[in-house]
Amino acid sequence: MKDQMIVSKQVGRTPRSTPPQDHLIVTIDGPAGTGKSSVGRMLALRLGLEFLDTGAMYRAATARAIDAGVSLEDEDAVAGLALEADFHFDWQTDPPTLLAGGKPYDARLRDDDVTRAVSGVSALAALREVLVRKQKLIGAQHPRLVSEGRDQGSVVFPDANIKFYLHASARVRAERRAAQLQETGRAVDIDALEQELDDRDRSDAGRAVGPLKKPEDAIVIDTSSLSFEEVVDKLEKVVRAQVTLDAPAGGE
């Protein structure tokens, strides 16, 4: 209901008869486990936009620091390694493959040591400065973009055409994560996962620089009782109501 109200207000600003937009940035922010990456990727595919997973950049910076053996509290060293890595994406793959120093880096990003350390590393101001600058540059070079993270609507793309904030209870998010892990044959403790997510939310929201925060003009979607398809449908509907797209649509 709430997002419907916001949508109709914004439709007034952007008449449907406008020509297809060559600049269209859609941001999706929210805590871990709300399905932002999968939703963002599918939304981009349906709308014919490119997709930027900024969490992958923080994970890559973390992996690089761990692998180089530098202290994860040494922000100049961590930021220096990220700068030197010159992160790029190969936009020909789906999802785009993250390259560091020209080499694919994806395989390492979801390892447990990286997942455990990334929230702390992503609080380092010097690192955020490097990655935010890079993300803005990517946005300038790929101006038809769905960008997903924690600070995309608030810091990186404050002028984004449409901002979403996905939310779900920690319990629901833990159950989703457990289902994913069970698929790969791993043992799971839902209570521990819920606690882990809760801790990560607190750390992501409490940091001084680029905290997880709902942008004031974001459309909030509680995904707790929605399926993946329902969430993507909802977002797609909002975007199509507000802008003119020239790319072929995956949906109706």
Per CB under 6 A, the list member of 26, 32, 39, 138 interacting with ligand DC is: 32
- Report if residue 232 touches ligand DC, rule: CB under 6 A: no
- Decide whether 121 or 232 has the Cβ nearer to ligand DC: 121
Cis peptide before 15 (omega within 30 of 0): no
Site map 45..74 versus ligand DC, x via CB under 6 A: ---------xx--xx---------------
Stretch that binds ligand DC, among 77-85, 115-123, 137-145, 228-236 (CB under 6 A): 115-123
Does 194 bind ligand DC (CB under 6 A)? Our answer is: no
Does position 108 interact with ligand DC (CB under 6 A)? The reply is: no
Single-letter amino acid, residue 243: V
Structure tokens at 155: 């810091």
Size of the site for ligand DC (CB under 6 A): 13
Nearer to ligand DC, 58 or 105 (CB): 58
d(CA 40, CA 48): 12
Residue 152 carries which DSSP code? I
Does the protein bind ligand DC through residue 168 (CB under 6 A)? no
Compute the distance between CA of residue 209 and CA of residue 127 in angstroms, rounded to an integer: 10
Inter-residue contact 220 to 165 (CB < 8 Å)? yes
127 sits near ligand DC (criterion: CB under 6 A): no
Contact 56, 176 (CB under 8 A): no
Nearest distance from C-beta of residue 124 to ligand DC, angstroms: 10
151 touches ligand DC by CB under 6 A:
yes
- Distance, in Å, from the CA atom of 29 to the CA atom of 151, rounded to the nearest integer, reads 7
Q: Is residue 89 a contact point for ligand DC (CB under 6 A)?
A: no
Residues 6+ apart with CB under 8 A from 108: 60, 63, 67, 114
Q: Is 149 in the site for ligand DC (CB under 6 A)?
A: yes
